[in-house]
Structure 1
Amino acid sequence: MTEAAGTPRATSSGTSAGSAGSAGSAGPTRHHAGLVLTLVLAGMAMLGPFSIDTPFPAFAQMRGELGVGVDEMQLVVSAYMLAFAVMTPFHGPLSDAVGRKPVVIGALTAYTLASVGCALSTSLPMLLAFRVLQGLSAGGSTIIGRTIIRDLFDGAEAQRVMSRVMMIFGLAPAVAPIIGGLLLGLGPWPTIFWFIGGLALVLAVVVLLVIPETHPPERRRPLRLGPMLRDVAHVARDGQFERMGWAITLVFAGQFIYIGGAAIFVVDLLGKGEADFWQFFVPMISGVVVGSWVSGRTAGRVAPRRLITAAFAVSVVAALTNVALATAFGPTLPWAVVGPSLIALGTGAAFPTIQVALLDLFPQVRGAAASVAGVMPLATNAVVAAVLTPLVTGSVVTLALASLTLVVLGCLMWVWHLAVDVRRARSLKAQTPSVAP
């Protein structure tokens, strides 16, 4: 019998979504991830960080040509990120209503046109308008890509594919500025926007040819704003979803507080120059990549709940170690980046498994679940960067303590989730009549 839309999947101990497992759709794994499919899904995920980081090397040239200051150029990033966050709740529900491919291809097409507009911009207001359009459309590939993974793959294979995509995605913040610098050597700053627009266009064509439609018409939701918002609200209010979602969101925030405050951390606290950011980002990204690799390697071998618990334990130990190293050595390398990198290893190992589990809770509105799962870290990290980071970047010790607090809060949410799951399992066992031998 088809499950009611928005109703959590029935669960069983150890493999359920409620236990951070991946119950999967009815039936065995339907696909095996090939290299081309994995690269396409990873490319869809990388479009977001490429949009932010690739133009960075051109900012000085853009300031001179557009006649604006440093503070005004920061709007080029802020406008994109704000629009991305505003649209994120809607991409998933739209895909639940009309299918995955129309939303992805439509978003990539809009992104291509927005990038052309950026390349042709002759003033900052014109550039910002097209950056907003880029932000509104970029999330379509990122959010729906996760949904497609879970549509196509079940159980351990879904975890493996999510892990591989995150490994490649984790490289994007390091690779994008390098590509931007190389493009700047080939031509003026619009060359960068021509490149990322061309990348989106290529992705749209490849998605059309390679990615199957994974959400058939008989499972689609009404294409009306009211039902879509109700689906999002239903997902957001679910206790299991909230506990697991906030667990990974807060633990990741313990890592992100260093990313959001990277300029202060690297330049002001560590005393490094603008060319030295790699000394922080390379170890941090390496942690994410290694953690994602661990998640993929352990898929099907280690129970999802156990893997997430172990990954969060690594993050807690890393955060405690970070405080100890900050107290003992102060703002000196390599000690100042050891803790954040190990926290990233823990989040990298936990993230793919939790993402699969969150999507498994709502198989009929998986797109809405992906959107809510995307909004939680976006909103939290925005608050962390804007409000918390300026308060705790006075020293490496206060920054480490703030990171530890966020990681511990996330792990407490996970412990709460496990406790509720154990109580539910005991209650179900008590209600099941015993059968005489």
Structure 2
Amino acid sequence: MTASSHARSLALLLAALSAIGPFAIDTYLPSFPDIAAGLQASPLEVQQSLSAYLFAFSVMTLWHGAIADRFGRRRVILFALGLFACASLGCAFASSIEQLWFWRAMQGITAGAGIVISRAIVRDLYDGAPAQRLMAHITMMFALAPALAPLIGGWLQTFWGWRSIFLFLVGATALLLWGSYHLLPETLPPEKRQSLRPSYLLHSYRKVFGSPRFLLASLALSLNFNGFFLYVLSSPVFLMQHLKLPETAFLWLFGPGMAGLICGSWLAGRLAGKISAGRCVLYGHLVMASAALLNLGLSAFLPPGLPWSVLPILIYTCGMSLAMPSLTLFALDPFPEQRGLAASCQTFFQSATNGVTAALLAPLLWGSTWTLALGMAAMLAAGSLATVAHHRLQRNSALLPG
């Protein structure tokens, strides 16, 4: 296998590992009404199954990286995939909404290992422009999963009902477990592994969460993403109520969104090494700003409809993924000896923000396309402020002597 083909294979595997968590979110969205009917639950109770997943995901991501720093990347990935398959099986056979909450939380506990450890593996192997390029390639391939997930989920729901979606996740995870067992290398040698002593972990977590550079880069990344994720969480209402589309038409949201992700990630990969990472982030924010303004205008003056209600999402995700690889690396760069733990903290920060959006903001804003557009614009504005603050802090740090 040549070096280029090996890099592509590794990027594909890391993208699949990163995608299993978001895939478990998007696949069952078309089934919300059927789950509510089958388990005799209210729409809000079904929505809370998503919140249970996201909050469990965010809490456990604090530990995936530290555990991988101690025991190695490969072993933790394999163990987490096995547990995720078992939790998916539990979801498939849930007989009450409370049981579904429990098994969705178990999925969330294990799903974050892929995305956390994949980021750590990139930083184990590469620095600078090569790391930015590989991260962009992973994002580009990772974008296909959320585009396909609701489409697959819609057809599974149509033909076999909501339980078949979780059985599908069991089979997909088993396939990924087989691929990881045979193809995933161990990138952290024993001499570089870290301790799990409580005193060491407390000091390390305090060091990461006390870093302004980490906090600002993570905040910018999380808020930018939530400008789009708001629509993902609201997709049953946005598509089936506002746009009057059937449950098999979720591709109208996820198709443009993921097309934008792929386009922006491709651009980020092409620009790596040609322009600075900071300029790549700037261009990404300019593209997102144009999308948010267009979204506000269209939702204010036109009734909900196709294609104008989804066009801004394509543009927004293009800018988001153009900035995403560099912002991710900005968060991890201050901690070269603790990449797994730093990746855990960064993923925790983002997933906790996702959980707040799922539990509070999405139900508050999904009442109209106008309020959703306001939500996107507000998320981007806050993310842009965090980006500017990070840039100033980084510039001032570079000017300090020594």
Match of 2:353 among 380, 386, 396: 380
Partner secondary structure for residue 364 of structure 1: coil
Q: 2:141 aligns with which of 159, 164, 168?
A: 168
Aligned-residue CA RMSD in angstroms? 2.8
Q: What does 1:220-231 align with in structure 2 at a 5 Å threshold?
A: 220-231=193-204
- The answer to whether the 8 A contact 1:156-1:299 is kept is yes
1: CA distance, partners of 2:299 / 2:98:
43
1:266-285 matches, cutoff 5 A: 266-285=239-258
Distance 1:417 1:115, change over 3 A: closer
Decide whether aligned partners of structure 1 residues 178 and 384 sit closer, same or farther in structure 2, where only a CA change above 3 A counts: closer
Partner of 2:340: 367
Which residue number corresponds to residue 221 of structure 2? 248
Change (3 A) 1:299 1:51: same
Instruction: Decide which moves more: 122-131 or 138-147.
Output: 122-131
Structure 1 pair 337–220 and aligned structure 2 pair: CA distance change class (3 A): same
Structure 2 counterpart of 1:323, from 278, 296, 318? 296
Any stretches of 5+ residues in structure 1 without a counterpart?
Answer: 1-29, 432-437
CA offset at residue 61 of structure 1?
Answer: 6.1
Aligned to 1:16: none
Compute the displacement of 1:150 (Å): 1.7
- Secondary structure of the equivalent of 1:331? coil
Instruction: Name the CA distance, whole Å, in 1 between partners of 2:265 and 2:61.
Output: 24
Candidates 279, 294, 304, aligned match of 1:306? 279
Give the stretch that moved more between structures: 212-221 or 174-183.
174-183
- Relative to 1, partners in 2 of residues 1:106 and 1:226: Cα closer, same or farther, differing over 3 Å? farther
Q: How far is the alpha carbon of 1:192 from its aligned partner?
A: 3.7
Deviation larger for 398-407 or 238-247 = 398-407
Unaligned runs of 5+ in 2: none
In structure 2, relative to structure 1, the CA distance for the partners of 1:326 and 1:39 (3 Å cut) is same
Residue 145 of structure 1 is aligned with which of 106, 118, 126? 118
Deviation for aligned residue 1:41:
0.9
Separation in 2, partners of 1:207, 1:152? 17
Among candidates 154, 159, 180, match of residue 127 of structure 2: 154
Residue identity matched to 1:102: R
Q: Which has the larger radius of gyration?
A: 1
CA separation in 2, counterparts of 1:188 and 1:68?
16
Partner of 2:380: 407
Matches of 2:254 and 2:133, distance apart in 1: 25
Question: Deviation at 1:329?
Answer: 2.8
**Shift in Å, 1:352:** 1.4
Q: Which amino acid aligns with 1:279?
A: W
| Contact preservation (8 Å) 1:94, 1:228 | no
Check 1:299–1:191 CA distance in 2 against 1; reply closer, same or farther (3 A cut).
same
Shift of 1:267: 4.1
| Contact map agreement 2:218 2:349 (CA 8 A) in 1 | yes
Q: Give identity over the alignment, percent.
A: 38
Give 1:417 deviation, angstroms. Answer: 2.0
Q: Relative to 1, partners in 2 of residues 1:118 and 1:416: Cα closer, same or farther, differing over 3 Å?
A: closer
Alignment correspondent of 2:212: 239
Distance in 1, matches of 2:308 and 2:159, equals 38
CA shift at 1:185, angstroms?
A: 7.5
What secondary structure, in the 3-state scheme, does the structure 2 residue paired with 1:363 have? coil
Compute the TM-score of the two structures, normalised by the length of structure 2.
0.88
Write the mapping of 1:257-272 to structure 2, written as runs, cut at 5 A.
257-272=230-245
Whole-Å separation in 2 of the counterparts to 1:396 and 1:323: 9
Greater mean alpha carbon deviation, residues 319-328 or residues 162-171: 319-328
Task: Tell me if the contact between 2:30 and 2:248 (Cα under 8 Å) persists in the aligned partners.
Answer: no
In structure 1, the partner of 2:190 is 217
**Whole-Å Cα distance in 1 between the matches of residues 165 and 96 of structure 2?**
17
Deviation at 1:268, TM superposition (A): 4.3
Measured against aligned partners, the alpha-carbon deviations of 1:185-230 in whole angstroms (never above 9, x if no partner) come to 8867554434322332332333233222112222222123442243
| 1:229-259 CA distance string (max 9 Å, x none) | 4322211110111122212222222222333
- Pick from 324, 332, 338 the counterpart of residue 311 of structure 2: 338
Check if 1:52 corresponds to 2:25.
Answer: yes
Counterparts of 2:351 and 2:394, CA distance in 1: 27
Matched with 2:267 is 294
What is the CA distance between 1:273 and its match in structure 2? 4.7
Indicate which of 317, 321, 326 corresponds to 1:348.
Answer: 321
Assess if the C-alpha contact under 8 Å between 1:32 and 1:157 holds in 2: no
Greater Cα offset, 34-43 or 344-353: 34-43
Select 2:102's aligned residue among 98, 110, 129.
Answer: 129
Checking the alignment, whether the CA contact within 8 Å between 2:151 and 2:251 is kept in structure 1 is no
Q: Distance in 2 between matches of 1:31 and 1:222?
A: 34
Structure 1 residues 426 and 104, CA, compared in 2 at 3 Å: closer, same or farther?
same
Aligned-partner SS, 1:333 = coil
CA spacing shift, 1:65–1:393, aligned 2, 3 Å: closer
CA contact (8 A) 2:49 2:104 kept: yes
Question: Which residue identity does 2:112 align to in structure 1?
Answer: G
Q: Is 1:93–1:371's contact at 8 Å kept on the other side of the alignment?
A: yes
Structure 1 residue identity aligned to 2:217: M
- In 1, distance between residues paired with 2:255 and 2:249? 10
Aligned 8 A contact 2:151 2:248 in 1? no
Over 3 Å counting, the alpha-carbon distance change for 1:63 and 1:340 in structure 2 is closer
Secondary structure in structure 2 of the residue aligned to 1:336: coil
Q: Write the deviation string for residues 287-345 of structure 1: whole angstroms up to 9, x where unpaired.
A: 11111111112122222111111111211222223223333334343222222321211
Q: Does 1:426 align with 2:392?
A: no
User: Normalising by the residue count of structure 1, what TM-score does the alignment of the two structures yield?
Assistant: 0.81
CA distance in 1, matches of 2:61, 2:202: 12
Partner SS for 1:334: coil
8 A contact 1:91–1:143 mirrored in 2 = yes
Structure 2: distance between partners of 1:130 and 1:83: 11
TM-fit CA distance, 1:276: 4.0
* Partner Cα distance (2:350, 2:86) in 1: 28
Q: Distance in 1 between matches of 2:94 and 2:16?
A: 26
